Amino acid sequence: MILNGLKNYFINLKHFFTPIGTLAVGMFIGLSILIPGAFAVVVALIGRLAETAGEANVDFEAVKNYIVDAVNALDWSDPIASLKIMLTREWLTGVVNGCLDIVASGLKPFEDAVTAAVDDAVFTLTALIVTFFLLCIIGLIGGYWLTRFLVRRTMAKRTFKKFMFALFVDSFVTAALIALSAWLLTVWAPSVFITSIMSFLIFGAISLVSAYCVHGRNVVELKTVLNIVNVLKLLLVNTIIFVVSLALFILTAVLTNPIAGALIGFSFVEIAFIVMSLNAESYVLNLASKTPQTEELQEAA
């Protein structure tokens, strides 16, 4: 099981570019909407502000006189010292703020119009940014399901009937486990620690039971599939796969940069989780293929 599980992971790395590709498509479509939209919003905002400023009674002569007075206030008996003062951050900031105060006083009657224009621009930009991230998320989700479909086709094909049966078994067993955990918690509070420790073993057993019901029923014996050795092997191989994928993720980030590493390296981890979720089915299918059965029994399975 361990070697087969690791083999499944490395073989399915051939689908490495699938989740990256769907994410890239989502980002590309999102950027094709965001960038032109943001440019149009900025142009429209500048136009509205310019129109408002044109209607406002801004005393630009007062602005000019304020700058001239600020310059004349310097001691020009020492021109070098005065020029040094003009180039300081404090002097420039004071002059700019003074000019803005004069302009603002002229725009004050149009404050509501300016605020409305800015609010509209911010709302539209926010909607564009949200749309961009939604498309990225759709790309991620689509990439996951497409990659899962491709990996399943490699590891554990199943018909729609088997899919529905597996869904029913998984839902029933998971619901029973949750109900049992909740009941134990009400009876004995420290049981939460026990259920937490045992959860990995329990979910490993659930995976094997589900795989047996879907692929091994009437083909192999349940005790051959479900035993403590197989549960421990399944947990071990899934742990190894996770560690390997995490190491590849970190290596990608080191060789590139944190952002590129996150965008590229997550594909290793995504494929790892998909393979981990299908390892039990792959193991049972492998057992079933090695078990001598009549054609009728194989069809029944």
Query: Over the stretch 24-65, which tens digit does the pLDDT of each residue have?
Result: 899 999 999 988 888 888 888 877 777 766 665 666 677 788
Question: pLDDT tens across 141-183, in order?
Answer: 998 889 888 888 888 776 667 667 666 766 666 666 666 666 6
CB 15 within 8 A of CB 271: yes
pTM: predicted TM-score of the whole model, two decimal places? 0.64
CB 53 within 8 A of CB 178: no
Matching residue, tokens 């926010």 = 126
pLDDT at site 297: 42
pLDDT at site 188: 59
Percent of the chain, pLDDT > 90? 7
Phi and psi for 247 in degrees, rounded to 5? -65, -40
C-alpha 109, offset from chain centre: 46
DSSP of 189-251, one letter per residue? TTHHHHHHHHHHHHHHHHHHHHHIIIIITTTS-HHHHSSHHHHHHHHHHHHHHHHHHHHHHHH
pLDDT at site 106: 62
